[in-house]
Structure 1
Amino acid sequence: MLRPILVALATSLVLAPQVRADFRICNNTASRVSISLAYTDGQAWVSEGWWNLKSTNCETLLRGPLAAQFYYVYGMDESGGEWKGKAFMCTRDREFRIEGRQDCYVRGFDRTGFFEVDTGRDAKNWTVQLTDPAKPGTGR
Protein backbone atom coordinates (compact mmCIF):
# COMPACT_ATOMS: atom_id res chain seq x y z
CA MET A 1 0.00 0.00 0.00
CA LEU A 2 2.86 2.41 0.79
CA ARG A 3 4.72 1.65 -2.44
CA PRO A 4 2.08 3.18 -4.84
CA ILE A 5 2.10 6.36 -2.75
CA LEU A 6 5.90 6.62 -2.98
CA VAL A 7 5.81 6.01 -6.74
CA ALA A 8 3.13 8.68 -7.15
CA LEU A 9 5.14 11.12 -5.02
CA ALA A 10 8.37 10.42 -6.93
CA THR A 11 6.56 10.86 -10.25
CA SER A 12 5.08 14.19 -9.17
CA LEU A 13 8.53 15.43 -8.12
CA VAL A 14 10.05 14.43 -11.46
CA LEU A 15 7.23 16.03 -13.43
CA ALA A 16 7.10 19.22 -11.33
CA PRO A 17 8.43 22.27 -13.17
CA GLN A 18 11.88 23.34 -12.09
CA VAL A 19 11.93 26.60 -10.15
CA ARG A 20 14.53 29.02 -11.46
CA ALA A 21 16.50 31.11 -9.02
CA ASP A 22 18.45 33.71 -10.96
CA PHE A 23 19.26 37.41 -11.27
CA ARG A 24 17.98 38.59 -14.66
CA ILE A 25 17.75 41.85 -16.58
CA CYS A 26 15.20 42.61 -19.30
CA ASN A 27 15.80 45.33 -21.87
CA ASN A 28 12.38 46.88 -22.54
CA THR A 29 13.83 49.70 -24.65
CA ALA A 30 14.06 50.30 -28.38
CA SER A 31 17.88 49.94 -28.51
CA ARG A 32 20.67 47.59 -27.49
CA VAL A 33 21.90 48.05 -23.90
CA SER A 34 25.27 47.10 -22.39
CA ILE A 35 25.03 45.97 -18.76
CA SER A 36 27.48 45.67 -15.88
CA LEU A 37 26.64 44.04 -12.54
CA ALA A 38 28.27 44.38 -9.11
CA TYR A 39 27.62 42.43 -5.92
CA THR A 40 29.26 41.10 -2.79
CA ASP A 41 29.75 37.41 -2.14
CA GLY A 42 29.87 38.09 1.60
CA GLN A 43 33.64 38.52 1.62
CA ALA A 44 34.56 40.67 -1.37
CA TRP A 45 33.01 42.98 -3.95
CA VAL A 46 32.91 41.82 -7.56
CA SER A 47 31.95 43.81 -10.65
CA GLU A 48 31.42 42.11 -14.01
CA GLY A 49 30.53 43.20 -17.53
CA TRP A 50 29.56 43.47 -20.26
CA TRP A 51 26.32 41.78 -21.23
CA ASN A 52 24.81 43.14 -24.44
CA LEU A 53 21.03 42.90 -24.49
CA LYS A 54 19.11 43.40 -27.68
CA SER A 55 15.91 45.39 -27.57
CA THR A 56 13.04 43.54 -25.83
CA ASN A 57 15.31 40.67 -24.68
CA CYS A 58 16.19 39.31 -21.23
CA GLU A 59 19.46 37.85 -19.98
CA THR A 60 20.34 35.84 -16.87
CA LEU A 61 23.39 37.47 -15.29
CA LEU A 62 23.73 35.20 -12.26
CA ARG A 63 22.39 31.66 -12.03
CA GLY A 64 21.17 30.10 -8.83
CA PRO A 65 19.63 31.42 -5.62
CA LEU A 66 20.51 34.99 -4.75
CA ALA A 67 23.32 35.23 -2.21
CA ALA A 68 22.79 38.89 -1.25
CA GLN A 69 19.98 41.37 -0.73
CA PHE A 70 21.57 44.20 -2.72
CA TYR A 71 22.90 44.10 -6.27
CA TYR A 72 24.19 47.01 -8.34
CA VAL A 73 23.59 47.64 -12.04
CA TYR A 74 24.97 50.03 -14.61
CA GLY A 75 23.59 50.19 -18.13
CA MET A 76 24.35 52.21 -21.24
CA ASP A 77 22.49 52.23 -24.54
CA GLU A 78 23.79 52.83 -28.07
CA SER A 79 22.90 56.52 -28.03
CA GLY A 80 24.67 57.28 -24.74
CA GLY A 81 21.67 56.98 -22.42
CA GLU A 82 22.54 55.55 -19.00
CA TRP A 83 21.02 53.76 -16.04
CA LYS A 84 23.36 54.78 -13.24
CA GLY A 85 23.50 55.61 -9.56
CA LYS A 86 25.70 56.66 -6.67
CA ALA A 87 27.29 53.32 -5.75
CA PHE A 88 30.71 53.47 -7.37
CA MET A 89 32.36 50.31 -8.65
CA CYS A 90 35.34 49.51 -10.88
CA THR A 91 34.75 48.85 -14.59
CA ARG A 92 36.64 48.84 -17.88
CA ASP A 93 35.74 49.26 -21.55
CA ARG A 94 36.15 45.61 -22.50
CA GLU A 95 34.88 42.42 -20.85
CA PHE A 96 35.87 42.28 -17.18
CA ARG A 97 35.56 40.64 -13.78
CA ILE A 98 37.09 42.86 -11.12
CA GLU A 99 37.43 42.04 -7.42
CA GLY A 100 37.18 44.96 -5.03
CA ARG A 101 35.65 48.40 -5.43
CA GLN A 102 38.40 50.54 -3.97
CA ASP A 103 41.17 52.47 -5.75
CA CYS A 104 39.71 51.89 -9.23
CA TYR A 105 41.88 54.51 -10.97
CA VAL A 106 45.06 53.43 -9.16
CA ARG A 107 44.44 49.84 -10.28
CA GLY A 108 43.96 50.92 -13.91
CA PHE A 109 40.14 50.75 -14.04
CA ASP A 110 37.34 53.24 -14.57
CA ARG A 111 35.07 54.28 -11.67
CA THR A 112 31.38 54.00 -12.58
CA GLY A 113 28.20 54.82 -10.66
CA PHE A 114 25.78 51.87 -10.36
CA PHE A 115 22.16 51.98 -9.18
CA GLU A 116 21.12 49.81 -6.26
CA VAL A 117 18.64 46.94 -6.59
CA ASP A 118 17.11 45.82 -3.29
CA THR A 119 15.82 42.28 -3.82
CA GLY A 120 14.50 41.95 -0.27
CA ARG A 121 15.74 39.66 2.47
CA ASP A 122 14.21 36.40 1.29
CA ALA A 123 14.21 36.69 -2.51
CA LYS A 124 15.58 33.67 -4.34
CA ASN A 125 15.39 35.29 -7.79
CA TRP A 126 14.94 38.78 -9.23
CA THR A 127 14.37 40.44 -12.60
CA VAL A 128 15.27 44.07 -13.33
CA GLN A 129 13.20 45.74 -16.08
CA LEU A 130 15.07 48.49 -17.96
CA THR A 131 12.76 50.97 -19.67
CA ASP A 132 13.25 54.15 -21.67
CA PRO A 133 13.27 57.24 -19.46
CA ALA A 134 10.08 59.31 -19.62
CA LYS A 135 10.25 61.89 -22.37
CA PRO A 136 8.84 65.38 -21.70
CA GLY A 137 5.30 65.69 -22.98
CA THR A 138 4.72 61.95 -23.51
CA GLY A 139 2.81 61.38 -20.28
CA ARG A 140 4.94 58.39 -19.26
Structure 2
Amino acid sequence: MTQRIRMGSILLLTALAGLFGAVAPAQAELRVCNETANLVSLSLGYRAERGWMSEGWWQAPPGDCRTIFQGDLQKRFYYLYAVDDIGGGAWDGQVFMCTRDETFTIFGVEDCLARGYERTGFFEIDTQNRSDWTLQLTESAGAPSIVGPDLGEDLEDPAFLVDPDAPLTPDNTDTQ
Protein backbone atom coordinates (compact mmCIF):
# COMPACT_ATOMS: atom_id res chain seq x y z
CA MET A 1 0.00 0.00 0.00
CA THR A 2 2.77 2.47 0.90
CA GLN A 3 4.53 1.59 -2.36
CA ARG A 4 1.35 2.54 -4.27
CA ILE A 5 1.14 5.88 -2.39
CA ARG A 6 4.81 6.64 -3.11
CA MET A 7 4.36 5.77 -6.80
CA GLY A 8 1.26 7.95 -6.98
CA SER A 9 3.13 10.83 -5.33
CA ILE A 10 6.04 10.50 -7.77
CA LEU A 11 3.67 10.49 -10.75
CA LEU A 12 1.85 13.54 -9.38
CA LEU A 13 5.10 15.43 -8.82
CA THR A 14 6.32 14.50 -12.32
CA ALA A 15 3.04 15.73 -13.84
CA LEU A 16 3.24 19.00 -11.90
CA ALA A 17 6.89 19.52 -12.90
CA GLY A 18 5.89 18.98 -16.53
CA LEU A 19 3.11 21.53 -16.21
CA PHE A 20 5.35 24.17 -14.69
CA GLY A 21 8.14 23.43 -17.13
CA ALA A 22 5.76 23.89 -20.05
CA VAL A 23 4.65 27.35 -18.94
CA ALA A 24 6.17 29.87 -21.35
CA PRO A 25 7.65 33.07 -19.98
CA ALA A 26 5.57 36.21 -20.38
CA GLN A 27 6.14 37.87 -23.74
CA ALA A 28 7.02 41.54 -23.77
CA GLU A 29 4.78 43.81 -25.83
CA LEU A 30 2.96 47.12 -26.03
CA ARG A 31 -0.76 46.61 -25.37
CA VAL A 32 -3.64 49.06 -25.46
CA CYS A 33 -6.85 48.25 -23.59
CA ASN A 34 -10.14 49.90 -24.48
CA GLU A 35 -12.00 50.67 -21.24
CA THR A 36 -14.66 52.75 -23.02
CA ALA A 37 -18.16 51.82 -24.20
CA ASN A 38 -17.28 52.15 -27.92
CA LEU A 39 -15.08 50.54 -30.55
CA VAL A 40 -11.67 52.28 -30.74
CA SER A 41 -9.20 52.29 -33.65
CA LEU A 42 -5.49 52.52 -32.85
CA SER A 43 -2.43 53.74 -34.72
CA LEU A 44 1.18 53.48 -33.52
CA GLY A 45 4.25 55.55 -34.34
CA TYR A 46 7.89 54.94 -33.37
CA ARG A 47 11.47 55.29 -34.52
CA ALA A 48 12.41 52.14 -36.45
CA GLU A 49 15.75 51.15 -37.99
CA ARG A 50 14.86 53.01 -41.21
CA GLY A 51 13.64 56.13 -39.37
CA TRP A 52 10.22 57.23 -38.18
CA MET A 53 7.38 54.84 -38.89
CA SER A 54 3.63 54.87 -38.33
CA GLU A 55 1.24 51.99 -38.74
CA GLY A 56 -2.39 51.13 -38.14
CA TRP A 57 -5.19 50.27 -37.72
CA TRP A 58 -5.92 47.93 -34.86
CA GLN A 59 -9.48 47.82 -33.58
CA ALA A 60 -10.19 47.32 -29.89
CA PRO A 61 -13.78 46.53 -28.94
CA PRO A 62 -15.05 47.78 -25.55
CA GLY A 63 -13.35 45.97 -22.67
CA ASP A 64 -10.75 44.35 -24.94
CA CYS A 65 -6.97 44.77 -25.30
CA ARG A 66 -4.87 44.74 -28.48
CA THR A 67 -1.15 44.11 -28.84
CA ILE A 68 0.13 46.84 -31.16
CA PHE A 69 3.86 46.08 -30.82
CA GLN A 70 5.12 42.57 -30.13
CA GLY A 71 8.50 41.84 -28.57
CA ASP A 72 10.73 43.74 -26.16
CA LEU A 73 10.21 47.47 -26.43
CA GLN A 74 13.55 48.66 -27.81
CA LYS A 75 12.76 52.37 -27.52
CA ARG A 76 11.68 54.45 -24.57
CA PHE A 77 9.11 56.52 -26.48
CA TYR A 78 6.25 55.31 -28.64
CA TYR A 79 3.41 57.41 -30.04
CA LEU A 80 -0.28 56.58 -30.21
CA TYR A 81 -3.30 58.00 -31.93
CA ALA A 82 -6.66 56.45 -31.05
CA VAL A 83 -10.12 57.38 -32.25
CA ASP A 84 -13.57 56.50 -30.91
CA ASP A 85 -15.22 54.98 -34.00
CA ILE A 86 -18.77 55.48 -32.72
CA GLY A 87 -18.83 58.58 -30.50
CA GLY A 88 -16.14 60.52 -32.35
CA GLY A 89 -13.36 62.14 -30.39
CA ALA A 90 -9.76 61.00 -30.20
CA TRP A 91 -6.76 60.49 -27.97
CA ASP A 92 -4.24 62.64 -29.81
CA GLY A 93 -1.32 64.99 -29.29
CA GLN A 94 1.19 67.33 -30.88
CA VAL A 95 3.65 64.82 -32.36
CA PHE A 96 2.64 64.67 -36.02
CA MET A 97 2.95 61.55 -38.15
CA CYS A 98 1.39 60.26 -41.33
CA THR A 99 -1.74 58.10 -41.42
CA ARG A 100 -4.44 57.11 -43.89
CA ASP A 101 -7.93 55.65 -43.66
CA GLU A 102 -6.98 52.13 -44.77
CA THR A 103 -4.50 49.75 -43.09
CA PHE A 104 -1.04 51.26 -43.43
CA THR A 105 2.67 51.16 -42.70
CA ILE A 106 4.26 54.50 -43.54
CA PHE A 107 7.95 55.39 -43.29
CA GLY A 108 8.79 59.02 -42.59
CA VAL A 109 6.87 61.84 -40.94
CA GLU A 110 7.67 64.61 -43.39
CA ASP A 111 5.39 65.96 -46.13
CA CYS A 112 2.44 63.74 -45.22
CA LEU A 113 -0.07 65.67 -47.30
CA ALA A 114 2.23 65.95 -50.33
CA ARG A 115 2.76 62.18 -50.21
CA GLY A 116 -1.00 61.52 -50.18
CA TYR A 117 -1.40 60.83 -46.46
CA GLU A 118 -3.10 62.59 -43.57
CA ARG A 119 -1.07 64.53 -40.99
CA THR A 120 -2.20 63.24 -37.57
CA GLY A 121 -1.24 64.29 -34.05
CA PHE A 122 -0.07 61.41 -31.84
CA PHE A 123 0.53 61.55 -28.07
CA GLU A 124 3.72 60.28 -26.50
CA ILE A 125 3.96 57.10 -24.42
CA ASP A 126 7.00 57.08 -22.12
CA THR A 127 7.66 53.41 -21.37
CA GLN A 128 10.38 54.36 -18.85
CA ASN A 129 12.69 51.88 -20.61
CA ARG A 130 10.57 48.88 -19.65
CA SER A 131 10.35 45.97 -22.06
CA ASP A 132 6.58 45.53 -21.54
CA TRP A 133 3.84 48.17 -21.31
CA THR A 134 0.04 48.21 -21.08
CA LEU A 135 -1.97 51.37 -21.67
CA GLN A 136 -5.69 51.75 -20.92
CA LEU A 137 -7.90 54.19 -22.79
CA THR A 138 -10.71 55.39 -20.51
CA GLU A 139 -13.40 58.01 -20.41
CA SER A 140 -13.47 60.36 -17.44
CA ALA A 141 -16.58 62.55 -17.17
CA GLY A 142 -17.05 62.28 -20.95
CA ALA A 143 -13.42 63.19 -21.71
CA PRO A 144 -10.92 60.55 -22.73
CA SER A 145 -8.06 59.79 -20.36
CA ILE A 146 -5.05 57.51 -20.49
CA VAL A 147 -3.94 55.00 -17.88
CA GLY A 148 -0.57 53.22 -17.93
CA PRO A 149 1.91 51.46 -15.63
CA ASP A 150 3.44 53.16 -12.60
CA LEU A 151 6.98 52.52 -11.37
CA GLY A 152 5.67 51.34 -8.00
CA GLU A 153 3.09 48.97 -9.49
CA ASP A 154 3.44 45.32 -10.41
CA LEU A 155 4.13 45.06 -14.15
CA GLU A 156 1.43 42.41 -14.51
CA ASP A 157 -1.29 44.79 -13.31
CA PRO A 158 -0.11 48.34 -14.09
CA ALA A 159 -2.19 51.50 -13.60
CA PHE A 160 -1.53 55.20 -13.24
CA LEU A 161 -3.06 58.30 -14.74
CA VAL A 162 -1.26 60.22 -17.46
CA ASP A 163 -2.34 63.79 -18.02
CA PRO A 164 -3.75 63.80 -21.58
CA ASP A 165 -3.49 67.62 -21.61
CA ALA A 166 0.26 67.66 -20.91
CA PRO A 167 2.03 69.54 -23.70
CA LEU A 168 3.84 67.41 -26.26
CA THR A 169 6.50 68.87 -28.48
CA PRO A 170 7.28 67.69 -32.01
CA ASP A 171 10.99 67.74 -31.19
CA ASN A 172 10.63 64.99 -28.59
CA THR A 173 13.10 62.54 -30.01
CA ASP A 174 13.87 59.02 -29.10
CA THR A 175 17.59 59.00 -28.39
CA GLN A 176 17.76 55.38 -27.33
Structure 1: state its 5+ residue gaps.
1-9
Quote the residue 1:101 is aligned against: 109
Quote the residue 1:3 is aligned against: none
**RCO (CA 8 Å, sep 6+): is it higher in 1 or 2?**
1
Answer whether contact 1:26 1:59 (CA < 8 A) is retained. Answer: yes
Quote the residue 1:125 is aligned against: 132
Task: State the Cα distance separating 1:14 from its structure 2 match.
Answer: 3.2
Quote the residue 1:114 is aligned against: 122
Q: Find the aligned partners of 2:138 and 2:76 in 1 and give their Cα distance.
A: 22
Quote the residue 1:5 is aligned against: none
Quote the residue 2:44 is aligned against: 37
Instruction: Decide which of 58, 63, 70 is 1:51's aligned counterpart.
Output: 58
Task: State the Cα distance separating 1:59 from its structure 2 match.
Answer: 0.6
Structure 2: state its 5+ residue gaps.
1-16, 144-176
Task: State the Cα distance separating 1:11 from its structure 2 match.
Answer: 6.8
Q: Normalising by the residue count of structure 2, what TM-score does the alignment of the two structures yield? A: 0.66
Does 2:81 align with 1:74? Answer: yes
Does 2:130 align with 1:134? Answer: no
Instruction: Decide which of 11, 21, 26 is 1:14's aligned counterpart.
Output: 21
Count of aligned residue pairs for this structure pair: 126
The two structures, once aligned, show a CA RMSD in angstroms of 2.0
Q: Find the aligned partners of 1:52 and 1:129 in 2 and give their Cα distance.
A: 14
Does 2:78 align with 1:92? Answer: no
Q: Normalising by the residue count of structure 1, what TM-score does the alignment of the two structures yield? A: 0.83
Q: Are residues 18 and 88 of structure 1, via their aligned partners in 2, closer, same or farther at CA, if it must alter by over 3 Å?
A: same
